[in-house]
Amino acid sequence: MAKSSGPFGRDLKLSSTPELSQSQEHAGRHRSAGTSSVRGKVREFRASSSIPAALSWEEFARQSILAAESSRLNPFSLHPEEYKMLRDHITHAQVTIYLNIRNGILRLWTRNPLVHVTIEEAVGCAREKRYFSLAKVAYHWLMRNGYINFGCVEVSNTAGPIPRVKAKGGPRRTVLVLGAGMSGLGCARHLEGLFAQLGGQWTEQGERPPKVIVLEARPRVGGRVYSHPLRNQSQSTIPAGHRNTAEMGAQIVTGYEHGNPMNAIVRGQLGIPYHGLRDNTILYDHDGSKVERSQDILVEKLYNDILERASVYRHKSATFRVVEGDRNLILFGRDPSDTGGATIATLENSNTPLPASASTTASTTEEKPSTGVEKLAGRAYQLSAGFNPNIPAAEAVTTMGWQLRSGASNSQSLQLDTIAKSSPYPTLGETMDNGISQYQAILDLKPKDLRLLNWHHANLEYANAVSVNQLSLSGWDQDIGNEFEGEHSEIIGGYQQVPRGLWQCPGKLDVHFKSVVKSIRYNPQDNSKGKAVKVECTNGEVFEADQIVITTPLGVLKSGSIRFEPPLPEWKQGVIERMGFGLLNKVILVYEEAFWEPDRDMFGLLNEAEHQMSLDQSDYATRRGRFYLFWNCIKTSGRPMLVALMAGEAAHFAEATPDGQLIKEVTGRLATMFAPNPVPLPSETIVTRWKKDPFACGSYSYVGAKTQAGDYDVMARPHGPLHFAGEATCGTHPATVHGAYLSGLRAAAEVVESMIGPIKIPSPLVEKRIKLELSITPVIMESKRKLGPEISQLDSRTAEQLREEDYEASIIGAILNEIGERPIKPGRAGVNPFLLYTKDNWYKCKADCDAARKVTTGDANAKASKTEIRAALGLMWRTASPDIKKPYLDQTQNARDGAAANAANFKERVATWDREATRIRQEYIQTHPPPNGNENMMNSRTAIELGTGKRLRRLGA
């Protein structure tokens, strides 16, 4: 089913056309009365003006927490960089206040990434005036680091006028970005945004904000995101307005939820349709027979067991210092009472025990969770957190359903220590293969079992672009725990629409195409007069700049095709050599008609060993990745198309083998699989050869045996005016489109910091509260009320009420810890065919209306009003032929069907959650009796358990 809108709720769906870009929420009432908070118009800071009055605090907190989670930030603790920035300035109690503000700002952004968040709105997330500076710091931190106001969004410009003389001849800094792939475009777009939003900082010094120039070797944007247009564009299986294309490089979006920045760009800003993939792979054996599901599952379990046993040798992930806020208060959207005190740094430096009240806000360290393996492929390998390697292998496989060999005992196990410690650079492949052969002593594995096990190896070789025999045993999955959630998907009409969007929206970036950089001369010291970087291209162009962001693939850096003068220092050159850059290739087959099941998104193919029916693992390595997986791209490419993957050693085979031979082989394989149906020769074929491509020199990075822990971060580290971005600099999400994009955001923040320094923190950051709590007299109460709703609200509650609320908060904490959030009611389909049509045609119609307006007014700068454009679009829609309307009507119907299915599923999940919540509440109350012995609490439910928005309220049984 094609989808075109994201999870942005009401606001976005209604505002996904340019003319409706103001957040709907802003028209609503906010907590502070009398605010007319329309984005971009408010000039005054008003406490709580961005906290909608119609929402209960719990609901507001829930949305803010979700927003932080969708931004890869922990809603309950400071990011290590926030910690560094704030530790000298705030107290433990203020951490919670900061987090409430920061999460609230993220809420504004994630609800509608079509519109940038303004400083006024951000400050409106603070509930008292004295936290305005704290809110400004949060805003700047989020903005600079690309957590808000990123992607294809128009931002405000704070650059002021500068004297003419200076404007003409005065200094203007230049940033060069080398490469127009996802990282380069992401970086350049974010730099442009930051130079506009922070423009005042330059103009106040009499300088124009810096300019950004992108140099790209190819005649197109996207780099390794390349949707190759097909020859046949006249017939199409995808909605009108999309090109028929084949994905030469990136193809899969690995889930939009839980922090993928592509969520905001693809779904929130560009509104590109995508196709959700179903995990319904079936496997064909080499002779064309289908592998029975039971055998497939059994072998997959065995494979996972060996992978888990090898994971014991995984390098322990680094821990870092974080400071947590008060989880219960954050869950309820409440700020703690803030009576000042020592800053975090003072307490930490003095080694004084933390105050009792700060027990939940103690500094702590956080370990990355280890739950899964990032995958681009059809199957994930979930490493269970609770895997126990001490359970003997024989016992484990018996539990899975395997029969032991006669003579094997239940206590037999694997001994991987010898192989894992036999070399200074052990690999995953050698260790697992050793595990497989040890299993052969316990189990009577047949050649078909080995073919299946090797299919899984091929799948890992796809995800890592290299043979498992070259992957580091301790670090191959160093990015574990950072996976996104949600179904995997493919972009309808081509992934390249995303880099194209970044290039063109909201205004075109200055990209110089066919500019192949051959040398970078730079001054590593910061003492240069004039420009510190001089870049020369093979076409003779020369560019000078103050800073350069290098995003060329690691393969290009390894190849030495770009000369650095002076040469890169040893620490940088060393890491370039140590890190792995692998290969994956594709054989793309376009047909006139599908001879496969058009609704199946992928199917796998097992390969025979070099020596038929071999029981020796090493005989499978060269062939296991040949055409091992076929993607059926009929729903996204526009034509009946299969994309066969060549992974591991087979990727190199594809590189060296002529097209004709590959097509002949794959056609033979398909004919065996689909016999007796005839399999024709494809009408168009494309074979990728990423290694031969001089601007890629391979496909993506991997953690090789000699790669050291932390090498991705060393790759990212700047050297003088040289900054580095690209997927191989993103240790948390390497080898992916989103990782490349995130690295671009990171580099943009670094460049800005190197130009204007870190975020300035005013002193004091939080002004002292006027001590009003000490004796509450009617007179003081009166003056407190004037201070804002939050203070008077807190004080009007009795001590008993506060205790009850705290107790309720602990119950909720126990519930959330055990079963997580109550399932969120899925939004209504909210898709309207006219809105979809408007989104596709707005810019074209606007251009036509502008042109007509110019003619009628005779003014070359005349622009049509939004009302005119809307009216013209309305007319176009009403008079459009059924053929034009059909895809929009279909998409709407699909969205409605999907919403109906989601609603049914929600009902079931929510009933289970409610039952469990009641049980946990009752158990909690039995083990921790309520302070006032209030029995009614046993059967009551708070708003969070009711999933309602109303303020903490309790229902009797």
Q: How many chain residues touch ligand FAD (CB under 6 A)?
A: 39
Q: Binders of ligand FAD among 82-111, rule CB under 6 A? A: none
* Per-residue CA distances from 857 to 115, 846, 851, 860, 863 (Å): 31, 16, 10, 8, 10
Q: Which of 57, 522, 543, 690 binds ligand FAD (CB under 6 A)?
A: 690
Site membership for ligand FAD, residue 216 (CB under 6 A): yes
Comparing CA positions, the residue from 696, 751, 754 lying closest to residue 727 is 696
Q: Which of 250, 373, 751, 836 binds ligand FAD (CB under 6 A)?
A: 250
- Shortest gap between Cβ of 825 and ligand FAD (angstroms)? 30
- Shortest gap between Cβ of 655 and ligand FAD (angstroms)? 12
Calculate Rg over the CA atoms of the chain: 30
3-state secondary structure of 897: helix
Instruction: Identify which range of 9-17, 175-183, 914-922, 926-934 contacts ligand FAD by CB under 6 A.
Output: 175-183
Shorter beta-carbon distance to ligand FAD: residue 429 or 582: 582
Comparing CA positions, the residue from 766, 655, 716 lying closest to residue 183 is 716
Q: Which of 5, 32, 251, 636 binds ligand FAD (CB under 6 A)?
A: 251
Sign of CA dihedral 838, 843, 847, 850: positive
Site membership for ligand FAD, residue 576 (CB under 6 A): no
Q: Binders of ligand FAD among 504-523, rule CB under 6 A? A: 516-517
- Shortest gap between Cβ of 444 and ligand FAD (angstroms)? 38
What token pair was written down for 920? 């946990």
Shorter beta-carbon distance to ligand FAD: residue 220 or 448: 220
Site membership for ligand FAD, residue 556 (CB under 6 A): yes
Q: How many residues does the chain have?
A: 957
- Shortest gap between Cβ of 700 and ligand FAD (angstroms)? 5
Q: Which of 123, 217, 436, 463 binds ligand FAD (CB under 6 A)?
A: 217
Site membership for ligand FAD, residue 552 (CB under 6 A): yes
Shorter beta-carbon distance to ligand FAD: residue 394 or 588: 588
Shorter beta-carbon distance to ligand FAD: residue 376 or 509: 376
Instruction: Identify which range of 273-281, 437-445, 549-557, 945-953 contacts ligand FAD by CB under 6 A.
Output: 549-557
Report yes or no: 632 and 598 within 8 Å, Cβ to Cβ: yes
The one-character DSSP state at 631 is E
- Shortest gap between Cβ of 701 and ligand FAD (angstroms)? 8
- Beta-bridge partner residues of 646: 585, 626
Shorter beta-carbon distance to ligand FAD: residue 468 or 647: 647
Instruction: Identify which range of 87-95, 137-145, 201-209, 245-253 contacts ligand FAD by CB under 6 A.
Output: 245-253
Site membership for ligand FAD, residue 696 (CB under 6 A): yes
- Shortest gap between Cβ of 480 and ligand FAD (angstroms)? 16
The identity of residue 746, as a single letter, is R
DSSP string, 748-802: HHHHHHHHH-SPP--SSSSPPPP--SSS--HHHHHHHHTT-HHHHHHHHS-HHHH
Interior/surface letters 833-857, b for 16+ CB within 10 angstroms, e for the rest: bebbbbbbbbeebbeebbeebeeee
Shorter beta-carbon distance to ligand FAD: residue 250 or 644: 250
Site membership for ligand FAD, residue 643 (CB under 6 A): no
What token pair was written down for 600? 């199946």
Shorter beta-carbon distance to ligand FAD: residue 517 or 920: 517
- Shortest gap between Cβ of 254 and ligand FAD (angstroms)? 6
Give 117's Cβ-side CA count (13 Å radius): 33
- Shortest gap between Cβ of 249 and ligand FAD (angstroms)? 4
- Shortest gap between Cβ of 496 and ligand FAD (angstroms)? 10
What token pair was written down for 61? 């907190």
User: Could you give the CA distance from residue 704 to residue 120 in angstroms, rounded to a whole number?
Assistant: 48
Q: Which of 354, 562, 686, 761 binds ligand FAD (CB under 6 A)?
A: 562
- Shortest gap between Cβ of 409 and ligand FAD (angstroms)? 44
Site membership for ligand FAD, residue 553 (CB under 6 A): yes
Which residues 6+ apart lie within 8 Å of 881 measured at CB? none
SS (H, E, C) 181-210: EHHHHHHHHHHHHHHHHCCHHHHCCCCEEE
Sign of CA dihedral 896, 900, 905, 908: positive
- Shortest gap between Cβ of 530 and ligand FAD (angstroms)? 23
Which residues 6+ apart lie within 8 Å of 77 measured at CB? 99, 322, 323, 324, 325, 364, 366
User: Could you give the CA distance from residue 58 to residue 130 in angstroms, rounded to a whole number?
Assistant: 23
Site membership for ligand FAD, residue 272 (CB under 6 A): no
The identity of residue 835, as a single letter, is L
Shorter beta-carbon distance to ligand FAD: residue 225 or 450: 225
Site membership for ligand FAD, residue 404 (CB under 6 A): no
Site membership for ligand FAD, residue 193 (CB under 6 A): no
- Shortest gap between Cβ of 142 and ligand FAD (angstroms)? 23
Please give the helix or strand (H or E) that residue 430 lies within, else none: helix 428-440
Q: Which of 740, 809, 873, 917 binds ligand FAD (CB under 6 A)?
A: 740
Q: Which of 86, 114, 177, 182 binds ligand FAD (CB under 6 A)?
A: 182
- Shortest gap between Cβ of 729 and ligand FAD (angstroms)? 8
Q: Which of 737, 742, 751, 752 binds ligand FAD (CB under 6 A)?
A: 737
Which residues 6+ apart lie within 8 Å of 143 measured at CB? 117, 149, 194, 197
Instruction: Write out the E strands in 299-423.
Output: 320-323, 363-366
Site membership for ligand FAD, residue 473 (CB under 6 A): no
- Shortest gap between Cβ of 165 and ligand FAD (angstroms)? 36
Site membership for ligand FAD, residue 52 (CB under 6 A): no
User: Could you give the CA distance from residue 647 to residue 271 in angstroms, rounded to a whole number?
Assistant: 32
For tokens 């082989």, what's the residue? 665
For tokens 């292998």, what's the residue? 393
Q: Which of 427, 736, 841, 892 binds ligand FAD (CB under 6 A)?
A: 736
- Beta-bridge partner residues of 724: 550
DSSP string, 635-665: HHHSSSEEEEEE-THHHHHHHHS-HHHHHHH
For tokens 């939940």, what's the residue? 360
Site membership for ligand FAD, residue 699 (CB under 6 A): yes
Site membership for ligand FAD, residue 218 (CB under 6 A): yes
- Shortest gap between Cβ of 695 and ligand FAD (angstroms)? 4
CA 234 to chain centre: 35
User: Could you give the CA distance from residue 829 to residue 897 in angstroms, rounded to a whole number?
Assistant: 8
- Shortest gap between Cβ of 486 and ligand FAD (angstroms)? 14
DSSP string, 487-526: --EEETT-TTHHHHHHHHSSS---EETT--EEEEEE--ST
Comparing CA positions, the residue from 592, 590, 562 lying closest to residue 576 is 562
Site membership for ligand FAD, residue 722 (CB under 6 A): no
Q: Binders of ligand FAD among 578-617, rule CB under 6 A? A: 584, 586
Q: Which of 104, 181, 268, 582 binds ligand FAD (CB under 6 A)?
A: 181
Site membership for ligand FAD, residue 726 (CB under 6 A): yes
- Shortest gap between Cβ of 904 and ligand FAD (angstroms)? 31
Q: Which of 95, 108, 180, 605 binds ligand FAD (CB under 6 A)?
A: 180
Omega of the bond prior to 764 within 30 degrees of 0, cis?
A: yes
Shorter beta-carbon distance to ligand FAD: residue 219 or 757: 219
What token pair was written down for 885? 């309307």
Site membership for ligand FAD, residue 224 (CB under 6 A): yes
Per CB under 6 A, residues contacting ligand FAD are: 178-184, 215-218, 223-225, 249-252, 376, 516-517, 551-553, 556, 562, 584, 586, 690, 695-696, 699-700, 726-727, 735-737, 740
